[in-house]
Structure 1
Amino acid sequence: MSDTDGPTLDGVLDQMENLSGGDDRQITVEEIINCLGKHSFASTILAFSLISTSPASGIPGVTAFVGLVVMFLVVQMIVGRDSLWLPGFIMRRDIAADKLREGVKWLRRPVRFVDRFLHERTTFLLHRPWIYLPLIMVLLLTMFMPFMEIVPTSGSIASAMIAIFAAGYLMRDGKVVILAMVLMSLLPVGVAWFFIGR
Protein backbone atom coordinates (compact mmCIF):
# COMPACT_ATOMS: atom_id res chain seq x y z
CA MET A 1 0.00 0.00 0.00
CA SER A 2 2.63 2.48 -1.04
CA ASP A 3 1.96 6.11 -1.81
CA THR A 4 4.20 8.66 -3.45
CA ASP A 5 2.04 11.75 -3.24
CA GLY A 6 2.73 15.41 -2.59
CA PRO A 7 2.55 16.78 0.94
CA THR A 8 -0.87 18.45 0.68
CA LEU A 9 -4.40 17.72 -0.42
CA ASP A 10 -4.23 20.89 -2.49
CA GLY A 11 -1.44 19.22 -4.44
CA VAL A 12 -3.86 16.51 -5.57
CA LEU A 13 -6.20 19.21 -6.88
CA ASP A 14 -3.25 20.84 -8.65
CA GLN A 15 -2.53 17.60 -10.48
CA MET A 16 -6.17 17.24 -11.53
CA GLU A 17 -6.34 20.87 -12.68
CA ASN A 18 -3.14 20.57 -14.71
CA LEU A 19 -4.50 17.43 -16.35
CA SER A 20 -7.74 19.14 -17.32
CA GLY A 21 -5.79 21.88 -19.14
CA GLY A 22 -7.74 24.63 -20.82
CA ASP A 23 -9.65 22.75 -23.50
CA ASP A 24 -12.95 20.89 -23.58
CA ARG A 25 -11.71 17.41 -24.38
CA GLN A 26 -12.68 14.20 -22.60
CA ILE A 27 -10.27 12.95 -19.93
CA THR A 28 -10.11 9.20 -19.37
CA VAL A 29 -9.74 7.43 -16.04
CA GLU A 30 -6.44 6.05 -17.33
CA GLU A 31 -5.11 9.60 -17.80
CA ILE A 32 -6.13 10.49 -14.23
CA ILE A 33 -4.42 7.35 -12.88
CA ASN A 34 -1.24 8.05 -14.84
CA CYS A 35 -1.24 11.64 -13.62
CA LEU A 36 -1.59 10.71 -9.95
CA GLY A 37 0.72 7.69 -10.13
CA LYS A 38 0.02 3.96 -10.11
CA HIS A 39 1.44 3.62 -6.59
CA SER A 40 -0.79 6.37 -5.20
CA PHE A 41 -3.78 4.53 -3.79
CA ALA A 42 -4.71 7.25 -1.29
CA SER A 43 -4.49 10.16 -3.71
CA THR A 44 -6.43 8.25 -6.38
CA ILE A 45 -9.21 7.39 -3.94
CA LEU A 46 -9.18 11.01 -2.76
CA ALA A 47 -9.37 12.37 -6.30
CA PHE A 48 -12.32 10.22 -7.36
CA SER A 49 -14.23 10.67 -4.10
CA LEU A 50 -13.77 14.45 -4.40
CA ILE A 51 -15.15 14.32 -7.95
CA SER A 52 -18.24 12.60 -6.57
CA THR A 53 -18.49 15.18 -3.77
CA SER A 54 -18.29 18.13 -6.16
CA PRO A 55 -21.10 19.39 -8.45
CA ALA A 56 -19.92 16.78 -10.97
CA SER A 57 -21.83 14.27 -8.84
CA GLY A 58 -24.97 15.63 -10.48
CA ILE A 59 -24.08 13.70 -13.63
CA PRO A 60 -26.17 10.50 -13.58
CA GLY A 61 -24.11 7.44 -12.73
CA VAL A 62 -21.08 9.29 -11.32
CA THR A 63 -21.73 8.17 -7.74
CA ALA A 64 -22.09 4.53 -8.76
CA PHE A 65 -19.00 4.70 -10.97
CA VAL A 66 -16.86 6.30 -8.27
CA GLY A 67 -18.05 3.65 -5.83
CA LEU A 68 -16.90 0.96 -8.27
CA VAL A 69 -13.48 2.57 -8.74
CA VAL A 70 -12.92 2.98 -5.00
CA MET A 71 -14.07 -0.59 -4.37
CA PHE A 72 -11.44 -1.96 -6.77
CA LEU A 73 -8.73 0.16 -5.14
CA VAL A 74 -9.66 -0.70 -1.56
CA VAL A 75 -9.68 -4.44 -2.31
CA GLN A 76 -6.15 -4.09 -3.68
CA MET A 77 -5.06 -2.19 -0.56
CA ILE A 78 -6.49 -4.95 1.61
CA VAL A 79 -4.58 -7.67 -0.24
CA GLY A 80 -1.40 -5.57 -0.16
CA ARG A 81 -0.75 -4.68 -3.80
CA ASP A 82 2.02 -2.13 -4.33
CA SER A 83 0.61 -0.67 -7.56
CA LEU A 84 -3.00 -0.17 -8.50
CA TRP A 85 -4.87 -1.84 -11.35
CA LEU A 86 -8.26 -1.17 -12.86
CA PRO A 87 -10.02 -3.14 -15.62
CA GLY A 88 -10.10 -1.75 -19.14
CA PHE A 89 -13.78 -0.80 -19.12
CA ILE A 90 -13.11 1.50 -16.16
CA MET A 91 -9.86 2.90 -17.57
CA ARG A 92 -11.65 3.87 -20.79
CA ARG A 93 -14.42 5.82 -19.06
CA ASP A 94 -14.08 9.57 -19.37
CA ILE A 95 -15.19 12.87 -17.92
CA ALA A 96 -15.36 16.24 -19.63
CA ALA A 97 -12.33 18.41 -18.86
CA ASP A 98 -14.55 21.42 -18.15
CA LYS A 99 -16.54 19.43 -15.57
CA LEU A 100 -13.30 18.37 -13.91
CA ARG A 101 -12.09 21.98 -13.80
CA GLU A 102 -15.39 23.13 -12.33
CA GLY A 103 -15.18 20.44 -9.67
CA VAL A 104 -11.59 21.37 -8.77
CA LYS A 105 -12.49 25.07 -8.55
CA TRP A 106 -15.45 24.31 -6.28
CA LEU A 107 -13.30 22.13 -4.01
CA ARG A 108 -10.36 24.53 -3.60
CA ARG A 109 -11.61 26.49 -0.62
CA PRO A 110 -12.88 23.58 1.54
CA VAL A 111 -9.81 21.48 0.75
CA ARG A 112 -7.42 24.28 1.67
CA PHE A 113 -9.32 24.82 4.91
CA VAL A 114 -9.13 21.13 5.86
CA ASP A 115 -5.49 20.88 4.76
CA ARG A 116 -4.41 23.23 7.56
CA PHE A 117 -5.61 20.87 10.28
CA LEU A 118 -4.08 17.64 8.96
CA HIS A 119 -0.79 16.41 10.38
CA GLU A 120 0.89 13.14 11.26
CA ARG A 121 -0.56 11.57 14.41
CA THR A 122 -2.02 8.31 15.73
CA THR A 123 -0.19 6.57 12.89
CA PHE A 124 -0.50 3.07 14.37
CA LEU A 125 -4.02 2.98 12.90
CA LEU A 126 -2.55 3.28 9.40
CA HIS A 127 -0.65 0.00 9.69
CA ARG A 128 -1.76 -3.61 9.70
CA PRO A 129 -3.83 -5.03 11.26
CA TRP A 130 -5.57 -1.79 12.36
CA ILE A 131 -5.88 -0.35 8.86
CA TYR A 132 -8.11 -3.26 7.82
CA LEU A 133 -11.03 -1.89 9.86
CA PRO A 134 -11.43 1.44 8.02
CA LEU A 135 -10.65 -0.23 4.69
CA ILE A 136 -13.43 -2.78 5.22
CA MET A 137 -15.82 0.01 6.22
CA VAL A 138 -15.00 1.91 3.02
CA LEU A 139 -15.43 -1.30 1.00
CA LEU A 140 -18.88 -1.93 2.47
CA LEU A 141 -19.86 1.68 1.81
CA THR A 142 -18.87 1.46 -1.87
CA MET A 143 -21.12 -1.57 -2.31
CA PHE A 144 -24.12 0.57 -1.41
CA MET A 145 -23.16 3.66 -3.40
CA PRO A 146 -24.96 2.59 -6.62
CA PHE A 147 -28.22 2.48 -4.66
CA MET A 148 -27.58 5.93 -3.19
CA GLU A 149 -28.35 7.47 -6.57
CA ILE A 150 -32.04 7.30 -5.57
CA VAL A 151 -31.52 9.16 -2.27
CA PRO A 152 -30.74 12.85 -2.88
CA THR A 153 -27.26 13.96 -1.67
CA SER A 154 -26.54 10.60 0.03
CA GLY A 155 -23.98 9.67 -2.65
CA SER A 156 -22.14 12.96 -2.20
CA ILE A 157 -22.17 12.49 1.58
CA ALA A 158 -20.78 8.96 1.24
CA SER A 159 -18.09 10.22 -1.14
CA ALA A 160 -17.17 12.98 1.32
CA MET A 161 -16.69 10.36 4.04
CA ILE A 162 -14.42 8.34 1.78
CA ALA A 163 -12.52 11.53 0.94
CA ILE A 164 -12.01 12.17 4.66
CA PHE A 165 -10.59 8.66 5.05
CA ALA A 166 -8.31 9.09 2.04
CA ALA A 167 -7.13 12.49 3.29
CA GLY A 168 -6.30 11.03 6.68
CA TYR A 169 -4.45 8.10 5.12
CA LEU A 170 -2.57 10.32 2.69
CA MET A 171 -1.48 12.78 5.38
CA ARG A 172 -0.79 10.03 7.95
CA ASP A 173 -3.44 11.45 10.28
CA GLY A 174 -4.98 8.57 12.20
CA LYS A 175 -7.43 10.82 14.06
CA VAL A 176 -8.98 11.91 10.78
CA VAL A 177 -9.29 8.25 9.78
CA ILE A 178 -11.12 7.64 13.06
CA LEU A 179 -13.44 10.56 12.25
CA ALA A 180 -14.18 9.00 8.86
CA MET A 181 -15.00 5.69 10.55
CA VAL A 182 -17.41 7.38 12.96
CA LEU A 183 -19.16 9.20 10.11
CA MET A 184 -19.39 6.06 7.99
CA SER A 185 -20.97 4.18 10.88
CA LEU A 186 -23.65 6.88 11.18
CA LEU A 187 -24.55 7.00 7.47
CA PRO A 188 -26.87 3.94 7.52
CA VAL A 189 -28.83 5.60 10.32
CA GLY A 190 -29.29 8.72 8.21
CA VAL A 191 -30.42 6.75 5.15
CA ALA A 192 -32.86 4.71 7.28
CA TRP A 193 -34.26 7.94 8.75
CA PHE A 194 -34.76 9.31 5.22
CA PHE A 195 -36.93 6.35 4.21
CA ILE A 196 -38.81 6.08 7.50
CA GLY A 197 -39.57 9.79 7.49
CA ARG A 198 -41.10 9.75 4.01
Structure 2
Amino acid sequence: MHQEQPFQPDESADKPAKPRRLSEIVKSISTAGDLTIGQLVDSLGERAFGALMFIFAVPNIIPTPPGTSAILGLPLVILTWQVLIGRQSLWLPALVRERRISRDMLQTFVNKVTPVMTRLERVLRPRLSLIVNSNAAERAIGLVAFPLALILFLPIPFGNIMPAAAIACLALGLAERDGLAVGFGYVLSLASVAVLAAVSSALYIAVVAFFRALFGL
Protein backbone atom coordinates (compact mmCIF):
# COMPACT_ATOMS: atom_id res chain seq x y z
CA MET A 1 0.00 0.00 0.00
CA HIS A 2 1.34 3.39 -1.00
CA GLN A 3 2.34 5.52 1.95
CA GLU A 4 2.09 9.28 1.52
CA GLN A 5 5.27 11.19 2.18
CA PRO A 6 5.03 13.97 4.75
CA PHE A 7 4.74 17.44 3.28
CA GLN A 8 8.09 19.19 3.01
CA PRO A 9 7.82 22.96 2.72
CA ASP A 10 9.83 24.55 -0.07
CA GLU A 11 12.34 26.58 1.87
CA SER A 12 13.72 28.15 -1.29
CA ALA A 13 10.42 29.98 -1.78
CA ASP A 14 11.08 32.01 1.37
CA LYS A 15 14.58 32.99 0.39
CA PRO A 16 14.96 36.51 -0.98
CA ALA A 17 16.07 36.78 -4.57
CA LYS A 18 19.80 37.20 -4.89
CA PRO A 19 20.57 40.74 -6.06
CA ARG A 20 22.05 41.09 -9.51
CA ARG A 21 25.74 41.82 -9.75
CA LEU A 22 26.95 44.88 -11.58
CA SER A 23 28.24 42.89 -14.55
CA GLU A 24 24.73 41.45 -15.03
CA ILE A 25 23.23 44.93 -14.79
CA VAL A 26 25.67 46.27 -17.39
CA LYS A 27 24.97 43.31 -19.70
CA SER A 28 21.24 44.00 -19.43
CA ILE A 29 21.59 47.43 -21.06
CA SER A 30 20.02 47.34 -24.51
CA THR A 31 22.41 48.33 -27.30
CA ALA A 32 19.94 47.76 -30.15
CA GLY A 33 19.48 51.50 -30.62
CA ASP A 34 19.70 54.88 -28.94
CA LEU A 35 18.31 55.14 -25.41
CA THR A 36 17.16 58.11 -23.41
CA ILE A 37 18.60 58.53 -19.93
CA GLY A 38 15.10 58.01 -18.58
CA GLN A 39 14.79 54.66 -20.37
CA LEU A 40 18.19 53.58 -19.03
CA VAL A 41 17.29 54.52 -15.45
CA ASP A 42 13.90 52.80 -15.64
CA SER A 43 15.43 49.61 -17.03
CA LEU A 44 17.88 49.36 -14.12
CA GLY A 45 15.52 50.18 -11.30
CA GLU A 46 15.43 53.58 -9.67
CA ARG A 47 16.81 52.36 -6.33
CA ALA A 48 20.02 51.02 -7.90
CA PHE A 49 22.01 54.11 -6.90
CA GLY A 50 25.37 52.32 -6.86
CA ALA A 51 24.83 50.80 -10.30
CA LEU A 52 23.70 54.11 -11.80
CA MET A 53 26.61 56.02 -10.26
CA PHE A 54 28.96 53.47 -11.77
CA ILE A 55 27.32 53.58 -15.21
CA PHE A 56 27.35 57.39 -15.34
CA ALA A 57 30.95 57.70 -14.04
CA VAL A 58 32.88 54.98 -15.89
CA PRO A 59 32.49 56.39 -19.44
CA ASN A 60 34.67 59.30 -18.27
CA ILE A 61 37.53 56.84 -17.62
CA ILE A 62 37.40 54.71 -20.77
CA PRO A 63 37.69 56.07 -24.35
CA THR A 64 34.15 56.87 -25.51
CA PRO A 65 32.68 59.06 -28.27
CA PRO A 66 33.03 62.85 -27.77
CA GLY A 67 30.37 64.54 -25.66
CA THR A 68 30.05 61.72 -23.12
CA SER A 69 30.77 63.86 -20.06
CA ALA A 70 28.29 66.52 -21.24
CA ILE A 71 25.51 63.91 -21.51
CA LEU A 72 26.22 61.89 -18.35
CA GLY A 73 27.69 64.60 -16.12
CA LEU A 74 24.45 66.34 -15.12
CA PRO A 75 22.52 63.17 -14.16
CA LEU A 76 25.55 62.08 -12.12
CA VAL A 77 25.48 65.39 -10.24
CA ILE A 78 21.75 64.98 -9.54
CA LEU A 79 22.21 61.34 -8.55
CA THR A 80 25.07 61.93 -6.10
CA TRP A 81 23.17 64.84 -4.55
CA GLN A 82 20.24 62.53 -3.84
CA VAL A 83 22.57 59.96 -2.28
CA LEU A 84 23.90 62.78 -0.09
CA ILE A 85 20.45 63.81 1.14
CA GLY A 86 19.37 60.20 1.67
CA ARG A 87 16.66 59.78 -0.97
CA GLN A 88 15.49 56.20 -1.48
CA SER A 89 14.30 56.61 -5.07
CA LEU A 90 15.88 58.52 -7.91
CA TRP A 91 14.25 61.60 -9.43
CA LEU A 92 15.45 63.21 -12.66
CA PRO A 93 13.93 66.28 -14.34
CA ALA A 94 12.24 65.67 -17.68
CA LEU A 95 14.93 67.62 -19.53
CA VAL A 96 17.58 65.15 -18.28
CA ARG A 97 15.42 62.04 -18.77
CA GLU A 98 14.89 62.97 -22.42
CA ARG A 99 18.59 63.25 -23.25
CA ARG A 100 19.63 60.56 -25.70
CA ILE A 101 22.62 58.22 -25.39
CA SER A 102 23.81 57.00 -28.76
CA ARG A 103 23.92 53.32 -29.70
CA ASP A 104 27.67 53.61 -30.34
CA MET A 105 28.27 55.00 -26.86
CA LEU A 106 26.20 52.24 -25.28
CA GLN A 107 27.98 49.51 -27.22
CA THR A 108 31.41 50.90 -26.38
CA PHE A 109 30.51 51.06 -22.71
CA VAL A 110 29.02 47.56 -22.47
CA ASN A 111 31.79 45.88 -24.51
CA LYS A 112 34.63 47.48 -22.58
CA VAL A 113 33.21 47.45 -19.06
CA THR A 114 31.62 43.99 -18.84
CA PRO A 115 34.91 41.97 -18.94
CA VAL A 116 36.50 44.29 -16.35
CA MET A 117 33.46 44.02 -14.07
CA THR A 118 33.49 40.23 -14.30
CA ARG A 119 37.11 40.18 -13.07
CA LEU A 120 36.49 42.72 -10.32
CA GLU A 121 33.53 40.75 -8.97
CA ARG A 122 35.88 37.90 -8.10
CA VAL A 123 37.30 40.04 -5.29
CA LEU A 124 34.34 42.28 -4.44
CA ARG A 125 32.29 41.03 -1.50
CA PRO A 126 30.35 42.41 1.50
CA ARG A 127 32.86 43.49 4.19
CA LEU A 128 33.75 46.41 6.49
CA SER A 129 30.05 47.09 6.85
CA LEU A 130 30.64 50.07 9.16
CA ILE A 131 31.52 52.34 6.23
CA VAL A 132 28.87 51.18 3.79
CA ASN A 133 25.84 49.58 5.48
CA SER A 134 24.01 52.50 7.10
CA ASN A 135 22.20 55.64 6.06
CA ALA A 136 25.01 57.76 7.50
CA ALA A 137 27.61 55.76 5.54
CA GLU A 138 25.64 56.15 2.30
CA ARG A 139 25.29 59.89 2.88
CA ALA A 140 29.05 60.12 3.47
CA ILE A 141 29.57 58.48 0.08
CA GLY A 142 27.25 61.09 -1.44
CA LEU A 143 29.10 63.88 0.38
CA VAL A 144 32.36 62.84 -1.29
CA ALA A 145 30.92 61.88 -4.68
CA PHE A 146 28.83 65.03 -5.19
CA PRO A 147 31.72 67.53 -5.53
CA LEU A 148 33.59 65.02 -7.70
CA ALA A 149 30.55 64.83 -9.98
CA LEU A 150 30.57 68.63 -10.21
CA ILE A 151 34.21 68.45 -11.34
CA LEU A 152 33.23 65.94 -14.04
CA PHE A 153 30.42 68.18 -15.23
CA LEU A 154 32.61 71.28 -15.50
CA PRO A 155 34.98 71.67 -18.49
CA ILE A 156 38.19 71.43 -16.44
CA PRO A 157 41.27 70.32 -18.45
CA PHE A 158 42.58 66.91 -17.33
CA GLY A 159 39.96 66.95 -14.59
CA ASN A 160 37.85 63.93 -15.52
CA ILE A 161 39.71 60.66 -15.15
CA MET A 162 40.66 60.55 -11.45
CA PRO A 163 37.33 61.93 -10.11
CA ALA A 164 35.48 59.47 -12.35
CA ALA A 165 37.64 56.60 -11.06
CA ALA A 166 36.97 57.66 -7.47
CA ILE A 167 33.19 57.80 -8.04
CA ALA A 168 33.34 54.40 -9.77
CA CYS A 169 35.08 52.86 -6.73
CA LEU A 170 32.55 54.42 -4.37
CA ALA A 171 29.75 53.13 -6.59
CA LEU A 172 31.21 49.62 -6.62
CA GLY A 173 31.41 49.62 -2.85
CA LEU A 174 27.85 50.90 -2.53
CA ALA A 175 26.43 48.40 -5.02
CA GLU A 176 28.36 45.39 -3.70
CA ARG A 177 28.36 46.49 -0.02
CA ASP A 178 32.16 46.31 -0.05
CA GLY A 179 33.64 48.73 2.47
CA LEU A 180 37.15 48.12 1.15
CA ALA A 181 36.14 49.44 -2.28
CA VAL A 182 34.54 52.46 -0.60
CA GLY A 183 37.74 53.10 1.35
CA PHE A 184 39.79 52.93 -1.84
CA GLY A 185 37.33 55.37 -3.40
CA TYR A 186 37.94 57.80 -0.54
CA VAL A 187 41.71 57.57 -1.11
CA LEU A 188 41.25 58.20 -4.85
CA SER A 189 38.99 61.16 -4.01
CA LEU A 190 41.73 62.80 -1.94
CA ALA A 191 44.29 62.07 -4.66
CA SER A 192 42.06 63.51 -7.40
CA VAL A 193 41.51 66.74 -5.42
CA ALA A 194 45.27 67.05 -4.86
CA VAL A 195 46.02 66.50 -8.56
CA LEU A 196 43.33 68.96 -9.61
CA ALA A 197 44.72 71.57 -7.21
CA ALA A 198 48.23 71.04 -8.59
CA VAL A 199 47.05 71.29 -12.21
CA SER A 200 44.99 74.41 -11.46
CA SER A 201 47.94 76.05 -9.70
CA ALA A 202 50.24 75.20 -12.61
CA LEU A 203 47.75 76.64 -15.13
CA TYR A 204 47.37 79.80 -13.05
CA ILE A 205 51.14 80.29 -12.80
CA ALA A 206 51.51 79.69 -16.56
CA VAL A 207 48.79 82.22 -17.43
CA VAL A 208 50.25 84.85 -15.09
CA ALA A 209 53.75 84.29 -16.52
CA PHE A 210 52.40 84.57 -20.08
CA PHE A 211 50.71 87.92 -19.47
CA ARG A 212 53.72 89.27 -17.60
CA ALA A 213 55.97 88.36 -20.54
CA LEU A 214 53.41 89.74 -23.03
CA PHE A 215 53.11 93.13 -21.34
CA GLY A 216 56.68 93.28 -19.96
CA LEU A 217 55.55 93.36 -16.33
- What TM-score, normalized by structure 2, do the two folds share? 0.77
CA distance in 1, matches of 2:89, 2:135: 18
Q: Which residue of 1 aligns with 2:163?
A: 158
Q: 2:22 aligns with which of 9, 21, 43?
A: 9
Matches within 5 A, 1:101-120: 101-120=107-126
Deviation at 1:172, TM superposition (A): 0.4
Question: In structure 2, how many angstroms separate the alpha carbons of the residues matched to 1:77 and 1:10?
Answer: 22
Task: Say which of 180, 183, 186 aligns to 1:178.
Answer: 183
SS in 2 for 1:121: coil
The corresponding residue for 2:31 is: 20
Could you tell which deviates more after superposition, 180-189 or 100-109?
100-109
Distance 1:30 1:69, change over 3 A: same
Cross-structure match for 1:167: 172
Residue 90 of structure 2 corresponds to residue 84 of structure 1: yes
Displacement after TM superposition at 1:74 (Å):
2.0
Question: d(CA) in 2 for partners of 1:80 and 1:193?
Answer: 32
- The match for 2:72 is 66
5+ long unaligned stretches in structure 2: 1-16, 207-217
1:119 is paired with a residue whose SS is: coil
Aligned to 1:129: 136
Q: Is the 8 A contact 1:51 1:100 kept in 2?
A: no
Q: RMSD across aligned C-alpha pairs, in angstroms? A: 2.1
Give the stretch that moved more between structures: 28-37 or 93-102: 93-102
CA contact (8 A) 2:53 2:76 kept: yes
Alpha-carbon contact 1:5-1:40 (below 8 Å) kept: no
Q: 1:77 to 1:5 in 2, by over 3 A?
A: farther
Match of 1:49 in 2: 57
Query: Using the alignment, how far apart are the partners of 1:26 and 1:48 within structure 2?
Result: 16
What is the alpha-carbon distance in structure 2 between the residues aligned to residue 150 and residue 78 of structure 1? 23
- Runs (4 or more) in structure 1 with deviation over 4 Å come to none
- Change in Cα spacing, 1:156 to 1:5, as seen in structure 2 (3 Å) is farther
d(CA) in 1 for partners of 2:54, 2:131: 18
Length, aligned pairs only: 186
Which amino acid is 1:144 matched to? I
Matched residue of 1:20: which SS? coil
Residue identity in the other structure for 1:108 = T
Distance 1:82 1:31 in 2: 19
Query: Which string of whole-angstrom CA distances, capped at 9 and with x for unpartnered residues, describes residues 13-57 of structure 1?
Result: 1112xx112xxx32100110111012211111111112333322x
Preserved CA contact (<8 Å) 2:173 2:181: yes
Q: Point out the structure with max Rg over C-alpha.
A: 2
Name whichever structure is richer in helix by fraction. 1
1:138 maps to 145
In 2, the alpha carbon distance for the partners of 1:51 and 1:125 equals 26
Indicate the larger mover: 74-83 or 183-192: 74-83
Q: Give the SS at the match of 2:92.
A: coil
Distance 2:50 2:167 in 1: 10
Change (3 A) 1:159 1:99: same
Give the residue type in structure 1 aligned to 2:36. T
| Structure 1 stretches lacking a partner, 5+ long | none
Give the AA of the match of 2:124: L
Match of 2:209 in 1: none
Residue 213 of structure 2 corresponds to none
- Seq. identity, %: 22
